């Protein structure tokens, strides 16, 4: 199966338009803060959400709207999370209603998202005033929408791919935001995907629920899980492929293309972590189970000591073993091998649970790169997994020390 990256983001698949504007939720007029994605037709839809007990009102409304497995539009604001507000549900529902008032779309077929400060009142007024401009500007503007959902993100996160199901050319596109409060369980921050594949909503939900376990659930920036984590996908069927209603070759091909997009976005999110200077990948092999591999990889990535060592380009491999030791999995510490690597080379630092001699000068050269890989071989089985994170820098504290004010 050939997967080819294409341009266009969420507008790459057939039948989608998008836009993003500044409406006034955010004070900075140079920052877009209001996004809209619309499918030409009602689409199969699926979603996964935060498991945090404190949930943003948009999560509650979106879950209700997607209960029948269909949607046609996605609306989202940045600058305010609409979380822990007494009128939060009302505001989220009004955002959906505004889409319905502009076009022939049911308010119940709208996915709604918000991101930003928690516990701050969100006024509907700036969005209501900007809604007509947002709607009238719909077009091939995936980048505008991607910019409008950013908070402290420093780069726009977007991807689109083309692949074949039989003789039919199909596409998946996506945009994402996420740099802080990233330690997901079921999704991460805000991810919006579109596709023109003809697939039942049951199979779409199955594909997405399976996918996040190896993509978005395997990233961590700071160990804090967001209240608004939402990952949703629309599939409008306009590619015209034979409908996917069961697991099989076409379903597997769709899942592979989906995972290409989600893993790419996961790496973008991890690399753009608040204050981060490096993307860190931890690949665990030789595990007794897939669960073991995933837990160990996530634990290493989440370790503040490992993250700090990577920031300082310090090959302090003992911190990796320390993290593995408290991961809670059945691992034989006496069999573990660890390597650090980057484009500058591979550095073995641990064999059989014990340190090996290495050059500190070479180690520094390898770890000064902006993408670092930590390879852990548990030598106890046939399972492997990857997790992604970033280094812990002074700027992370600075950003979050005055995030609200």
Q: Cβ atoms within 10 A of the Cβ of 81, count? A: 26
Residue 305's pLDDT is what? 94
Q: How much helix, strand and coil, in percent to the nearest 5, is found in the chain?
A: 35, 30, 35
The model's pLDDT over 76-125, given as tens digits with 9 standing for 90+, comes to: 999 999 998 899 999 999 999 999 999 999 999 999 999 988 889 999 99
Those residues with Cβ within 8 angstroms of residue 300's Cβ, 6 or more apart along the chain or in another chain: 282, 284, 306, 320, 323, 324, 327, 374, 376, 387
By the 10 Å C-beta count (0-12 exposed, 13-18 middle, 19+ buried), 24 is classed as middle
Residue 398's pLDDT is what? 81
Under 8 Å between Cβ of 144 and 18: yes
Q: How far is CA 113 from the centre of its chain?
A: 14
The model's pLDDT over 220-230, given as tens digits with 9 standing for 90+, comes to: 876 666 666 88
- Give how far Cα 355 sits from Cα of 182, 311, 316, 337, Å: 32, 21, 10, 9
- CA-to-CA distance for 143 and 242, rounded, in angstroms? 31
Q: Which residues are catalytic?
A: 188
- CA-to-CA distance for 292 and 383, rounded, in angstroms? 8
pTM across the whole model: 0.90
Those residues with Cβ within 8 angstroms of residue 221's Cβ, 6 or more apart along the chain or in another chain: 178, 179, 180, 181, 182, 183, 269, 270, 273, 274, 276, 389, 390
Residue 179's pLDDT is what? 66
What string of pLDDT tens digits covers the 405 residues of the chain? 899 999 999 999 999 999 999 999 999 999 999 999 999 999 999 999 987 777 889 999 999 999 999 999 999 999 999 998 899 999 999 999 999 999 999 999 999 999 988 889 999 999 999 999 999 999 999 999 999 999 888 899 999 999 999 999 999 999 999 866 566 665 557 999 999 999 999 999 999 999 999 999 898 876 666 666 889 999 999 999 999 999 999 999 999 999 999 999 999 988 887 778 999 999 999 999 999 999 999 999 999 999 999 999 999 999 999 999 999 999 999 999 999 999 999 999 999 999 999 999 999 999 999 999 999 999 999 999 999 999 888 887 787 777 666
Those residues with Cβ within 8 angstroms of residue 374's Cβ, 6 or more apart along the chain or in another chain: 280, 281, 282, 283, 300, 306, 320, 338, 339, 340
Nearest CA to 17 out of 114, 104, 136, 127 is that of: 136
Tokens of 111: 């996915």
Residue 149's pLDDT is what? 96
The domains located in the chain, with CATH, are 4-267 (3.60.70.12), 279-401 (3.10.20.340)
- CA-to-CA distance for 106 and 241, rounded, in angstroms? 26
The model's pLDDT over 293-340, given as tens digits with 9 standing for 90+, comes to: 999 999 999 999 999 999 999 999 999 999 999 999 999 999 999 999
């Amino acid at each position: 199966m050939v997967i080819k990256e294409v341009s266009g983001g969420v507008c790459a698949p057939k039948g989608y338009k998008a836009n993003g504007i500044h409406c006034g939720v955010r004070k900075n007029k140079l920052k877009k803060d209001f996004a809209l994605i619309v499918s030409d037709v009602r689409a199969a839809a699926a979603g996964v959400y935060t498991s945090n007990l404190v949930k943003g009102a948009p999560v509650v409304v979106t879950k209700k709207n997607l209960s029948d497995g269909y949607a046609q539009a996605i609306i989202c604001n940045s600058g305010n999370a609409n979380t822990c507000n007494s009128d939060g549900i009302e505001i989220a529902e009004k955002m959906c209603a505004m889409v319905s008032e502009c076009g022939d779309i049911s308010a119940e077929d709208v996915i709604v998202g918000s991101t930003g400060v928690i516990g701050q009142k969100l006024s509907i007024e700036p969005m209501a005033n900007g809604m007509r401009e947002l709607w009238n500007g719909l077009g091939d503007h995936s980048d505008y929408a991607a910019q409008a959902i950013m908070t402290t993100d420093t780069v726009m996160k977007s991807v689109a791919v083309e692949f074949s199901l039989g003789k039919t050319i199909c596409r998946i596109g996506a945009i994402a935001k996420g740099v802080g409060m990233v330690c997901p369980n079921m999704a991460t921050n805000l991810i919006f995907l579109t596709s023109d594949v003809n697939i039942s909503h049951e199979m779409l939900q199955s594909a997405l629920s399976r996918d996040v376990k190896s993509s978005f659930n395997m990233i961590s920036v700071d160990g804090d899980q967001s209240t608004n984590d939402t990952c949703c996908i629309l599939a409008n069927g306009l590619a015209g492929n034979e409908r996917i209603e069961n697991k099989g070759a076409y379903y597997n091909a769709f899942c592979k293309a989906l995972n290409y997009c989600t893993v790419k976005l996961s790496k973008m999110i991890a690399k753009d972590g608040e204050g981060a200077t490096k993307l860190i990948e931890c690949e665990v092999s030789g595990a007794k189970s897939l669960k073991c591999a995933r837990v160990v990889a996530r634990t290493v990535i989440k370790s503040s000591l490992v993250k700090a060592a990577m920031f300082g380009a310090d090959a302090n491999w003992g911190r990796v073993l320390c993290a593995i030791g408290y991961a809670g999995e059945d691992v034989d510490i006496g069999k573990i091998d660890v390597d650090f690597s980057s484009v500058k080379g591979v550095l073995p630092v641990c064999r059989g649970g014990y340190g090996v001699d290495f050059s500190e000068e070479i180690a520094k050269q390898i770890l000064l790169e902006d993408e670092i890989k930590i390879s852990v071989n548990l030598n106890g089985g046939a399972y492997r997994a990857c997790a992604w994170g970033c280094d812990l820098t002074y700027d992370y504290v600075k950003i979050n020390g005055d995030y609200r004010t």
